[in-house]
Amino acid sequence: MTKEELIAKMAASAGITKVAAGNALQAFTGAVTSSLKKGQRVSLVNFGTFTISRRKARLGRNPRTGETLRIPAAKVPKFSAGKVLKSAVR
């Protein structure tokens, strides 16, 4: 599903315009992003939890040249599906 398809489905389901649904989706993603930037987790009951995971620095290898290179540590977003979402997909 693309972003446009999601917006259309949200608009039809909520009985609002596509513009309003697009604004709502933008507000949601912005709120999740800003919370994760602050190091906070975002938990949506029955849906899932967005958190930040830390990856340690490690050594990697360039597949083309075989040269060893250092991959720096990084913070990456992570999503854990909730119990209800998991059971709905099965």
Query: What element of type H or E holds 10?
Result: helix 3-14
DSSP label of 60? E
Residue type, 70: R
Position 9 scores a pLDDT of 97
Position 69 scores a pLDDT of 95
Is residue 23 domain-shared with residue 61, that is, in the same domain? Answer: no
Domain extent at residue 47: 41-90
* Domain count across the chain: 2
Query: Looking at the whole model, is its pTM more than 0.85?
Result: no
CATH code of 73's domain: 4.10.520.10
Q: What is d(CA 1, CA 23) in angstroms, rounded to the nearest whole number?
A: 18
